[in-house]
Chains A and B, each alone.
Chain A
Amino acid sequence: MNTRPFQLIPGYLFTVVFVGLMIQTLGVSAQPHIYPAPPQQRKIVLIHGTIHVGNGKVIPNGMIAFDRGKILAVGETVDTSGAELVDVSGMQVYPGLIAPVTNLGLVEVEAVRATRDEDEVGQIIPSVRSIVAYNTDSKVIPTLRSNGILLAHIVPEGGLIGPTSSVVQLDAWNWEDAAYSKDIGIQLYLPRLYPSSPEAETRALQQVNTIKQFFQEAAAYYHEPQHTHRNLSFEAVKGLFDRSKILFVHADLEKEIWLALDLARTFHFRMVIVGGADSWRVADELKKNEVAVILQPPHSLPLTPDDPVDLPYRTAALLQQAGVKFCIGEDGFWQQRNLPFEAGTAAAYGFTREQALEAITLRAAEILGIDSLTGSLEPGKDANIVVSRGDILDMRTSQVEMAYIQGRSINLDNKQKDLMKRYVYKYGLDMDTTHIY
């Protein structure tokens, strides 16, 4: 390990005063050597940081104390007794960012079929679960952590009534370790309702009827005194009826969202729209029916050539004004590291930076039903914390210096940093790698 080149580079040091148990300094670099962190051993207090609570509040020179994985206190001063103090002067402290919809860990290389596990066959497959295929050893995951993404909602594809999704934390040995909130919801992939042909709408509506009938029969099934033949799919969606699970409806167009709302009213489901390019057009109804939105990335093209060119940038602000509960999403898996910049762009178009931050932290947690655990830096919640040298929403300033998941100090190295160091070494480049961990 002593021969690892990057260790020869001077300046590979933390700028924090009290380094404490920083696993990543122990000479890990190549991917297999990035170890998941052990449980938090002692109380930690981050001091002198600008604390972005995640609910809109900012504490300029604040402190945050956490122990045994939970946040104890947040404020201008907190009890530091017995704590390891970590000086984060000049830095920004954020709740761990949440990727609200991603196929992370289900795909490693998109073009290589053997590495794709995100799309199952069948029309009605709600019992299929993403969590069991989630690959904690994906080399992509560390590249997300190092940009502050600490939690992810792992959403598979396939079917009309699609698979079951789970929330994971991004530092784990295996999927059981990773599971943060298991089997939280079912996917519904509504047929597209754009006018492709005169019959397209009719065909789509027939599929919607298939969906409705499935749910009606499921409801009836639960009333059978005993089942001669058990139906795995009906049983998989039972949680929708008692509202313990969420129906994630993947829909973009106005008409698709109407049909989703009809389902929500008919069956009294907890519903979240995923995508929602047109959600701003249906904002009042979404609000009235308490249907939330995981919004498509602001870095999208407008739907039609005539739409205002900056409409996708502004959609988040439109939803904010209308009082719709929403968070901001990002495409794919490796792309998730750009989630904060999606929020940053939304902030440039009519929405404050703290609102933008909320849209990738607390709002996401609320929408995924994990806000009692995470999403903001508030006492009692998990210590999922990101520390950045500068504004995390702006690539110009975002430099994630440290991160904690449930109080565990996370290794922020990744394969790409390692390759970088390898060639900085090869070329003898005078490249400041000080805060490239």
Chain B
Amino acid sequence: MIIFSELTNQSDMKKIILCGCLLAAICTDTWAQATFPVNGIADPRTRTFAFVHAVIVRKAGDTVRDGMLLIRQGRIVSVSTGVAPPADAVVVDCSGKYIFPSFIDLYSHYGLPQPQQAERVSRRERGPQFISDKKGAYGWNEAIHPEIDAADMFHADETSASSYRKAGFGVVLTASQDGIARGTGALVSLASPDDVRDNFIVLRKRASANYSFDKGSSTQDYPSSLMGAIALLRQTYYDAQWYAAHQQGKTEGVQPDEGVNLSLEAWIRNQSLPQLFAVSNKWDALRAAAIGREFHVQYLIKAGGDEYQRLLEIKATGSPFILPLNFPDPYDVSDPAQTRFLTLAALKHWELAPTQPAAFEKAGIPFCFTLDGLKDLSDWLTQLRKAFHYGLSQEAALNALTLNPARFLGVADQLGSLEPGKWANFLICSGPVFDENTVWYQHWIQGYPYVLEANGWNDARGTYTVVFPGESFQWMIKGKPQTPSLQVFRKGDTLSGKISWNDQLLQISFPAQKPRRGADSVATILLSGWMHGDTLQGTGIAGDGKTLRWLAYRTAPFQAEQDTTSHKQLFYPNPGPVYYPFQAFGSEQIPRQPAAILIQDATVWTNEAEGILPHTDVLIRKGKIAAIGKNLSAPDAEIINATGMHLTPGIIDEHSHIAITGGVNEGTQSVTSEVRIADVINPEDVNIYRQLAGGVTSSHLLHGSANTIGGQTQLIKMRWGHNAEELKFQGWDPFIKFALGENVKQSNWGDNQHERFPQTRMGVEQVIVDAFIRAQDYEKQPSDKRRDLELDALVEILHHQRFITCHSYVQSEITMLMRVAEQFGFRVNTFTHILEGYKVADKMKAHGAGAGTFSDWWAYKMEVVDAIPYNATILDKMGVVTAINSDDAEMGRRLNQESAKSIKYGNLSEEEALKLCTLYPARLLHVDKWVGSIKVGKDADLVLWNDDPISIYARVEKTLVDGTVYYDRIRDSLMQVRNEQERARIIQEMLQAKAHGEKTQPIRLSLRFEEHDEADMDLDISDAPYRQAVSNKDQFIQY
């Protein structure tokens, strides 16, 4: 609040000099609220103000000089030039000042209670929770609460409002940041609750519907994974469509099959609002956008900050973005023994993060900003200036802070610029709003003034004649208007003095004279006073201690001088290139497929009737094998001389859990066929590269084995550097993971896990039978039925459009599943792990099932005590299609060795042994028409080895996918050198940043087991936890 201190009559106008002292309560309750009683004297005001002689920036690129901004009742009446202010306006002289629309932040939880974080007790400790704990007629999942309206919980909070206002923000969209469907956000102003009641501060009660992938405070088990969160969102869209359809034409929305579901009703209602999706990284942004595409929703996406790393894909979403400004602090790199744990990706992100806004501007992606994530809101301009340094234009920044957010929210008729009818939210500054020397004096919100800097509004600078008793001299006030300095010219001396202000009151001190030779000290003259117009006056103490009265009047205005004040010099690193993938083994360019490659003089393991061909050439064109023979020639081809080397088809891992984000298991319910690995591929997992270095060209990414009917799987090709979509193996038949035995009956989950059905192998059968019966009945329902993603996947199995790979060990359960499948008219495609497969190889053969097995694992749990390393050989010899799989990121890079164990354990031929990790997994996955052998027309997914590929001494020299070299031993060693240099460069930059006074963040790593089927016994049941626990093969993962 501001005190309008002195009113003077000047011509016909009432003129006000705004001095900017704070005065409490003057404006309180001036915004009379119709229904509220008044205690005391009513104080109605129109609050009409005319800000004259200002440079008014109505919006970015639209500036009026010597303009007048007229506001009334908190709204803008006009912005004009050459018009006299109306008589009923309080006139505020803004000569030399700039007026900008104030800023808008769309991602805030201002004025809302913090979500109650339930005590984090692991599921293992507390037992399962299947259904929401929320009381009432709400939906089943505790993380889906669209019925929560931020406006219901909102109460303005002066402490945080004031820090937002100081940061220039006049309006925020506030919403609960808890849960997956978070409810609606309220658009609120940052006016002080001392001035205005919440009733007026809430500008729009349901301004947005908010979403995320984070289940937040929900204590319910489901969803435990990112893929589960995605499935839950998708299912809720379908549920809402169904619920809405059945509500049409009815006054009371009572569903015969659902009753009243207030959550779905709220969801349906919220669909007409702007849809805001908060993510934490670039891939999640793409995941959100994919959901949006499915349901014809264009999300406004609150970004994670690393989207610049995948700008093309981000732009293709068509979404507007809310960009955070919490660029990472430099790391503390003073301890090199720890710095080595800092990934190159983290180092590079530090220097590249501030380039994101400019990159969005350049790419033409619409965006606004949020202060979310900043520990100190006052820090944000420093961050924004970093963005300016890297090319963000001031115009784009202003738009991103004003008109863009207003448009994204559909409130551009109310906010975002200084135009008639809009809210009177603006900043009055000493200069262009983002300039470092600019002082932000006042922030007006809904027509209420808030002083950000009282000093300097009245520019006291200039040359004065000073009158002391019996003398007169001169002084000059110069420097910055809000922190001026004083130079005194008295008795021939030029003296440096001090002047300090508190609004219109001031104190001055200066030495009585220059120090004279031999004098001990010089007396200081102290003055107090006040300012009125061009006059300063007051009392003081002279050098001799006598009280004096003084007066100074300005004789000449301040002449602008060169600004020599030095600002804190920020350090701006000179960022290196973005890598694809954004990872130490990424490249500046995504590897491109050459038109043709000719591999000369290799020993070619064809996996076809031709067998192993010595001294043979293989020609690749457009990613396909074009010719195999001796002395091939192709003038346009890149030549690879493979003399002395062996060429094999690429290795295919039938069972892998690499490259999966946000959990391998949605192991919360016994049937989760709705979740899809395809939704959560992490194309930047270093394990993709590590597998390439072991000759793997395709991996079948599986859901874990924590439940009987797990998730839908995804076959990928190791196209390192490409995005998740591009990694997918095109044209493959979809698969799904099932699991049997100890994991699904929770044998090793701890003592508190005895509730989930099933707890026995008997129950496992019933889970499966029940699921397929439900699927059959579901299919028969009329077409307006509720779409059920879980049953859809099972229906596909019944129709032989989706195939099962089933985690299984002992013979009883293997036979059980085959009989269940037969009962429903389909076949189990693959039994995976299947360590007792050798006991029922004849039954498997008769059923038509294949096997993906470990070479020699056993003794890690009770159901593998009869596992034998001869399993693969017996199955193979029995005519069961058999593959050796890994389930393990480390072993996945040595599947040639694991397959070679079938020579040791059972005398398989070398050629047959290699097929166990190439051709046969291709058959199991129905992709042998494209991969698995070296044959003209097939994909050029090939591995070049320095030695017999089935030997322990064999090393991979090159791995090709689709005729593109994605791993090359020589390139790898060059990359290591490059990485060292890049690391060293950035570490030096971080040291410089620290030297420039930037605060640093400590290096922190989380210790995590690699993902496999049995890696994490707490939440993700997956098949080698014990192996990991024993070996302490902890992986250091950056977070």
Contact = CB atoms under 8 A, between A and B. Distances in A.
Interface of A: 103, 108-112, 139-140, 192, 194-198, 252-255, 275, 296-297, 299-306, 308-310, 331-335, 337-338, 341, 344-345, 347-349, 393-396, 398-399, 416-417, 419-420, 423-424, 427, 429-432, 436
A110 B861 contact: yes
B521 to A, nearest CB: 49
B1033 A308 contact: no
B865 A109 contact: yes
Interface string B763-794: 00000000000000000000000000000000
Contact of B689 (A110, A253, A309): A309
Contacts of B910: 396
B877 A429 contact: yes
Given A334-B860, A348-B953, 4 more contacts: A196-B1007, A332-B1031, A348-B955, A394-B900
14 contacts: A109-B862, A110-B1029, A111-B742, A194-B1036, A195-B1003, A299-B890, A305-B686, A306-B343, A334-B858, A395-B903, A396-B910, A416-B858, A420-B906, A432-B907
A42 to B, nearest CB: 32
A158 to B, nearest CB: 13
Given A431-B906, A431-B907, A395 B862 contact: no
Contact of A341 (B689, B857, B897): B897
Contact of A111 (B860, B903, B1033): B860
Nearest to B906: A431
A198 B905 CA distance: 50
A366 to B, nearest CB: 24
A301 B1004 contact: no
Contact of A334 (B689, B859, B947): B859
A416 B953 contact: no
Given A300-B890, A395-B952, A431-B906, A419 B859 contact: no
Given A112-B862, A299-B894, A348-B952, A424 B900 contact: no
B971 interface: no
B555 interface: no
Interface in B844-890: 856-862, 865-870, 873-874, 877-878, 889-890
Contacts of B742: 111
Given A331-B1027, A416-B869, A306 B584 contact: yes
Interface of B: 337-338, 340-341, 343-345, 583-585, 686-687, 689-690, 693, 742, 747-748, 838-839, 841-842, 856-862, 865-870, 873-874, 877-878, 889-891, 893-894, 897, 900-901, 903-907, 910, 913, 947-948, 950-955, 972, 976, 979, 983, 1002-1007, 1010, 1026-1027, 1029-1038
A429 B874 contact: yes
Contact of B1005 (A139, A195, A344, A349): A195
B1027 A338 contact: no
Given A111-B748, A196-B1005, A299-B894, A345 B952 contact: yes
Nearest to A419: B868
Contacts, number: 187
B890 A306 contact: no
Given A192-B1007, A306-B979, A423 B972 contact: no
Contacts of B983: 306
Contacts of A301: 687, 690, 889-890, 1010, 1033, 1035
Given A194-B341, A306-B343, A309-B689, A420 B890 contact: no
Contacts of B874: 420, 423-424, 427, 429, 431
Nearest to A429: B877
A108 B859 contact: yes
A292 B38 CA distance: 87
B952 to A, nearest CB: 4
B870 A420 contact: yes
A335 B1007 contact: no
Given A112-B861, A195-B1003, A195-B1005, A429 B338 contact: no
Contacts of A436: 905-906
Contact of A396 (B687, B689, B952): B952
B1001 to A, nearest CB: 10
Contacts of B897: 341, 345, 395
Contacts of A299: 890-891, 894
Contacts of B866: 419
Contacts of B687: 301
Contacts of A399: 904
Contacts of B865: 109, 139
Contacts of B861: 109-112
Nearest to B946: A348
A321 B684 CA distance: 34
B952 A341 contact: yes
A305 B583 contact: yes
A398 B862 contact: no
A431 B1033 CA distance: 37
Contacts of A335: 1027
A348 B693 CA distance: 14
Contact of A398 (B858, B904, B955, B1027): B904
Nearest to B947: A348
Interface hub of A297, A332, A347 (most chain B Cβ within 10 A): A332
A299 B858 CA distance: 18
A310 B952 CA distance: 14
Contacts of A333: 859, 1030
B904 A395 contact: yes
Count chain B CB atoms within 10 A of each CB in A349, A398, A420 and give the residue with the most: A420
Nearest to B691: A309
A396 B870 contact: no
Nearest to B877: A429
A192 B878 CA distance: 49
A308 B1035 CA distance: 14
Contacts of A337: 856
A305 B839 contact: no
Contact of A427 (B842, B859, B951, B1004): B842
B953 A427 contact: no
A100 to B, nearest CB: 14
Contacts of B1033: 300-301, 331
A349 B955 contact: yes
B1030 A332 contact: yes
9 A-B pairs with the lowest CB-CB distances in the bound complex, closest first? A110-B1026, A331-B1031, A111-B861, A344-B952, A420-B870, A306-B584, A416-B868, A305-B686, A334-B859
Nearest to A344: B952
B1004 A393 contact: no
B234 to A, nearest CB: 31
A345 B858 CA distance: 22
A436 B905 CA distance: 8
A308 B893 CA distance: 14
Given A111-B860, A331-B1027, A255 B952 contact: no
A394 B859 contact: no
Nearest to A435: B907
Contact of A297 (B867, B907, B1031): B1031
B702 to A, nearest CB: 19
B979 A196 contact: no
Contact of B900 (A194, A395, A423, A430): A395
Contacts of B873: 431
Contacts of A341: 897, 952
Given A305-B1038, A306-B344, A337-B856, A393 B952 contact: yes
B955 to A, nearest CB: 6
Contact of A420 (B868, B891, B894, B1004): B868
A304 B343 contact: yes
With a 10 A CB-CB cut-off, give which of A393, A395, A420 has the most chain B CB atoms: A395
Contacts of A431: 873-874, 877, 906-907
B972 A309 contact: yes
Given A196-B1005, A301-B690, A395-B900, A427 B860 contact: no
B690 A195 contact: no
Given A275-B1032, A304-B341, A198 B955 contact: no
